Chain A
């Protein structure tokens, strides 16, 4: 039991990615333990989203490897990676604008009842049970983010904050063990950031591991167990928040930007 807890949940080893001649990720390595809350920070273009893309299988790395639960996942397709327990949000949300709020969640919902194609098309057998289970689970997730009353609206009816919550609910429906949040606090007020932060901690209590990319200091310093700092595709620091604030390399990378923040 203890052995499992101290083994890295997610291990990234010497991860490298080239896009043609451009190196987006340069031998990045780090370990994440179960139920950690880790933030990834760095100037724009440092390769943070690329890192998420690599881990979740959007494209394969040029070099290095990615391990999740002792299983090598770096060349698996996205859908498979999600199936294994990793979910992510997008910076630009990418909600399914042609589906309603609850439908957005249903399409990804993990289920116990699985109906075959014939049953689905004839609406016989297990299909009705599958549909109702999907709706039930999705409404649960929506309720957990407070959107259950708006289930039959469409994404364009929601406010910016509600859309972000929908994005998270959509992820949660896939029953992830590891969740990547790409700039979840963008455009939120201080009060909303506090709500979001406590929500993330609740997720951790339920057993999830959370990695988020952020620029907002209150969130980074507020809830991170650790902070990983990237610059020009390289990891330049990996430490607890207090130490990061004093780290010279980090300050140098950030200095022009930090004065405008928090």
Chain B
């Protein structure tokens, strides 16, 4: 173990070089893997954005939401609709999506989160269901067949309509929101969120006693999660150029939840890891079986993987990796404990 630790520390020291190489790979990725996997990559990025917002909500506000699928859909439909009906510039439409999704999240979240006792999980799942039912029947938005004709993103006359171009646009936006997420976590608000979490070493009672308004903070974070999902939805709409209710069902909300939990809620990377596993699984199955895998098989295996990860790595993949990182950094030889309590002691 000690050898491994020393080797790891050497790698960490050369972080800057490693970082540079990774950035280079990221930029060249579409050309390395071909056009079809690139579309997968774009989807991974889009889903990871939703998951990132949800991760902030679960990991920092301690609040589960089964409604992100709805916010995702709301963002997508608003952006697509503005683009098709009014010819609004996709970038502007995206901002509108984010703003409207966020506002809706705030309106829904404020009564739900300010007073304890509300069954947030149920209300959000009901909200997801409601949205899906509603959007499947609304003629104006194409009902269950949806509508097409959504414009791609474009900048200064140049339209992003090739796969690798989407990839860059999406990559930039996701990186941006990744950084925003990090900024939040490092800020006073992020610290207040840690302080109010009784399960990981904080104390809700003490937090309140120093003036932290838990309900207000939770609502803010819920709103942020809504914005993330809304923007992701917009990205999705302008990428697909066609929208229908199918990807925005209750399943989507459940999927988002599973993705982020599996990835790890305390880390901003959790969303990306989770989404990568989900979509990567699809690809791997296709590769192994030689032809397109039946959807049922994918659900089955993904469900099993998530269950196993939850059983043995309750903090998710990133949780496990960050603990590994801590131990290797500090030269602690030990069998890697899987229990939740470990995090409180060693820092």
Residues of A within 8 A of B (CB): 56, 58, 77-80, 82-83, 87-88, 90, 94-99, 103-104, 106-110, 117, 120-123, 127, 130-131, 134, 154, 156, 170-171, 173-174
- CB within 8 A of B344: which of A79, A98, A117? A98
Q: Which residue of A lies closest to B206 (CB)?
A: A94
Are the C-beta atoms of B187 and A79 separated by less than 8 Å?
A: no
Are the C-beta atoms of A171 and B210 separated by less than 8 Å?
A: yes
Residues of B within 8 A of A (CB): 180-181, 183-184, 187-189, 191-192, 194-195, 197, 200-203, 205-214, 220, 224, 344-345, 347
Task: Tell me the minimal C-beta distance from A59 to chain B in angstroms.
Answer: 11
Indicate whether A106 sits within 8 Å of B210 (C-beta atoms), given known contacts A98-B201, A121-B183: no
Beyond the given A98-B200, A170-B210, please list 6 additional residue pairs across the A-B interface where CB-CB is below 8 A.
A90-B206, A98-B201, A108-B212, A121-B187, A123-B183, A174-B211
Are the C-beta atoms of A99 and B202 separated by less than 8 Å?
A: yes
Are the C-beta atoms of A98 and B202 separated by less than 8 Å?
A: yes
Are the C-beta atoms of A121 and B180 separated by less than 8 Å?
A: yes
Q: Which residue of A lies closest to B189 (CB)?
A: A120
Indicate whether A120 sits within 8 Å of B183 (C-beta atoms), given known contacts A83-B211, A98-B200, A170-B210: yes
18 contacts between A and B (CB under 8 A): A78-B208, A80-B213, A82-B208, A94-B203, A96-B194, A97-B201, A97-B344, A98-B344, A99-B191, A103-B191, A106-B188, A117-B224, A120-B184, A121-B187, A122-B183, A134-B188, A154-B347, A174-B210
- CB within 8 A of B211: which of A79, A98, A104? A79
Indicate whether A94 sits within 8 Å of B205 (C-beta atoms), given known contacts A108-B211, A174-B211: yes
Across-interface contacts of B197 in A (CB, < 8 A)? 98
Q: Which residue of B lies closest to A167 (CB)?
A: B206
Are the C-beta atoms of B180 and A122 separated by less than 8 Å?
A: yes
Task: Tell me the minimal C-beta distance from A121 to chain B in angstroms.
Answer: 4
In the bound assembly, the distance between CA atoms of A37 and B210 in angstroms comes to 21
Task: Tell me the minimal C-beta distance from A131 to chain B in angstroms.
Answer: 7
Across-interface contacts of A109 in B (CB, < 8 A)? 188
Are the C-beta atoms of A96 and B206 separated by less than 8 Å?
A: yes
Task: Tell me the minimal C-beta distance from A74 to chain B in angstroms.
Answer: 16
